[in-house]
Structure 1
Amino acid sequence: MPHLPPPSPAQLRRDPLPLRGRTALVTGASRRAGIGYAVARRLAAYGAGVYLHHHVPHDDAMPWGADRPDDVVEGVREALGDPDATVCAGPGDLAEPSAPAELIGTAADALGGRLDILVANHALSGGDGPLDAVDAAMLDAHWAVDTRSVILLVQAYARLRARSAPRTPGGRVVLMTSGQDIAGGMPDEIAYGLQKGALASATRSLATGLADLAITVNCVNPGPVDTDYLTGEAYAQVEARFPAGRWGMPDDPARLIAWLATDEAAWITGQVIDSEGGFRR
């Protein structure tokens, strides 16, 4: 079997716009304090056209509230590394069974008919508890948003790639998990931890199944990230458990996710990657 030649000097030089000409859908990008927003800014800065999915009613119901979608888009647009790249946004309630496939089609149309990168960042907040508190409705709600919709998004994305860009390099899927498999688990968020664990477990199977389409699939655990959901003494207690003496910030996992979308990460697939800054559990 012939060996691939080593990279040339030109290939070793870092491209300042490694995602120029590629397109991405980032779900759950409705707040400028969130991870989805940070990921979208990184992808845009690398030259990708980006479609931001949002579900404002969800964030409006949370203590942190929602941002205006136009403000989120403008913030991502400021990060553009390529003046020809596109940034657009649209809503979607991914708890609806038909919404994932519709979102993939809408995003692809908005980005010129092509979709290279899928970052499934959305999740359901609230409506959870310890084992004694969860009920069927809680479990079903988290399943629908945190897991079912993600698998349906990946399915629709893979079908689009199979039709429009079979075996075209650059196909990327990034899922998001949490710390449910690390020491201590998530005993007070049984429904959320269960569904996020399902995504981590599915990562290798999805990666194997999509390899023939030149799509890599990886899953990122961002660890505790300061997205304005915790304050006061509880915030300080978490902060003290980081060796660096600070919380993770949205751009910390965003740098990893953006790198996974580039050609430099083309040989990485089927992995669950912790990006926790050494957090001591």
Structure 2
Amino acid sequence: MLPLRGRSALVTGAGRRGGIGYAVARRLAAYGASVYLHHHVPHDAAMPWGADRPEEVAAGVREALGDPAALVVEGPGDLSDPAAPARLIRTAADAFGGGVDILVANHALSGSDGTLDTIDAAMLDAHWAVDTRSVLLLVQAYVRLRAARPSGGPGGRVVMMTSGQDIAGGMPGEIAYALQKGALASITRSLATALAEHAITVNTVNPGPVDTGYLTGDAHSAVAAMFPAGRWGQPDDPARLIAWLATDEAAWITGEVIDSEGGFRR
């Protein structure tokens, strides 16, 4: 009933109750894990969907706790800062008494992007810093933390997020974002091979279009019609897969880029 009891998880980009990170955190908590919720409120506040109060997000995750002894902690971090990933790993580990078992790198930069004709160096650099560099530095710090622990703890889990940029028509209107998310998909197998000796699995999930509030009106309806079920993906759809990947049931799944798109037809 509680396959993650006694384990700890860091979920990045979990600052909005309408987002995938929040749904993932609730699933992990329901499975018994202690969860650290990373957020960067200024990013969401600048977006059309706005920001939630971190304490309200944390309260929502606590409601899902399957183990009353588990912890839910929240904290900020601007992952465009090269020093922030290692600092975040240390902060989460300290909150849980020294360890992080599960890393879900869900954060990403929204906006600041365009077509091939409109992108510039600043856009490319911004997406590189947040969408790719920070993820790899998080994984690096996570592995170093586990290597320093006497027993290493239970099997480690890393889950990264991509966006289906290499399927069908790609993402021609979001070149910088697609480029950096593609880099994560490409590095998945290499990371999985490197970390197998540490008993850490590495997988990347493409959640497909998920209704997190970024489209409305006719555009929203047009995307819904591309799904065989006639509806968008909901945040809990990829969250169920990610939570399963964190359990021992998925110990033999590594190096995979998994599409969880509900049959989405581009």
Give the TM-score range, shorter chain. Answer: over 0.9
Pairwise CA distance, 1:165? 5.2
For 1:146, the equivalent position in structure 2 comes to: 131
- Provide, for residues 66-86 of structure 1, a one-character-per-residue CA deviation record: whole Å limited to 9, x for no partner: 000000000000000000000
Identity %: 81
Q: 1:77 aligns with which of 50, 62, 65?
A: 62
Pairwise CA distance, 1:111? 1.2
Are 1:169 and 1:215, in contact at CA under 8 Å, matched by a contact in 2? no
Which structure 1 residue ranges, 5 or more long, are not aligned? 1-15
1:173 aligns with 2:158: yes
How far apart in 2 are the matches of 1:167 and 1:215? Answer: 10
For 1:81, the aligned partner's letter is: G
Are 2:89 and 2:142, in contact at CA under 8 Å, matched by a contact in 1? yes
Are 1:179 and 1:185, in contact at CA under 8 Å, matched by a contact in 2? yes
How far apart in 2 are the matches of 1:177 and 1:276? Answer: 12
1:189 aligns with 2:182: no
Matches within 5 A, 1:30-49: 30-49=15-34
How far apart in 2 are the matches of 1:23 and 1:112? Answer: 10
Quick one: structure 1 residues 53 and 255, their matched pair in 2 at CA, closer, same or farther if it must change by over 3 Å? Answer: same
For 2:247, the equivalent position in structure 1 comes to: 262
Are 1:20 and 1:82, in contact at CA under 8 Å, matched by a contact in 2? yes
Pairwise CA distance, 1:169? 3.2
1:111 aligns with 2:107: no
For 1:11, the equivalent position in structure 2 comes to: none
For 1:74, the aligned partner's letter is: A
Matches within 5 A, 1:1-281: 16-164=1-149, 168-281=153-266
TM-score scaled by length of structure 1: 0.94
Length, aligned pairs only: 266
Are 1:170 and 1:261, in contact at CA under 8 Å, matched by a contact in 2? no
Are 1:42 and 1:255, in contact at CA under 8 Å, matched by a contact in 2? yes
- Provide, for residues 137-180 of structure 1, a one-character-per-residue CA deviation record: whole Å limited to 9, x for no partner: 00000000000000000000000011115554320000000011
Are 1:168 and 1:213, in contact at CA under 8 Å, matched by a contact in 2? no
Pairwise CA distance, 1:262? 0.1
How far apart in 1 are the matches of 2:163 and 2:92? Answer: 26
Are 2:15 and 2:40, in contact at CA under 8 Å, matched by a contact in 1? yes
Are 1:166 and 1:213, in contact at CA under 8 Å, matched by a contact in 2? no
How far apart in 1 are the matches of 2:215 and 2:62? Answer: 28
Question: In structure 1, the residue corresponding to 2:37 is in which secondary structure?
Answer: strand
For 1:231, the aligned partner's letter is: T
For 1:201, the aligned partner's letter is: S
- Provide, for residues 103-147 of structure 1, a one-character-per-residue CA deviation record: whole Å limited to 9, x for no partner: 000001001111000000000000100100000000000000000
Quick one: structure 1 residues 275 and 250, their matched pair in 2 at CA, closer, same or farther if it must change by over 3 Å? Answer: same
Higher Cα Rg, which structure: 1
Are 1:168 and 1:214, in contact at CA under 8 Å, matched by a contact in 2? no
Quick one: structure 1 residues 85 and 245, their matched pair in 2 at CA, closer, same or farther if it must change by over 3 Å? Answer: same
Quick one: structure 1 residues 19 and 135, their matched pair in 2 at CA, closer, same or farther if it must change by over 3 Å? Answer: same
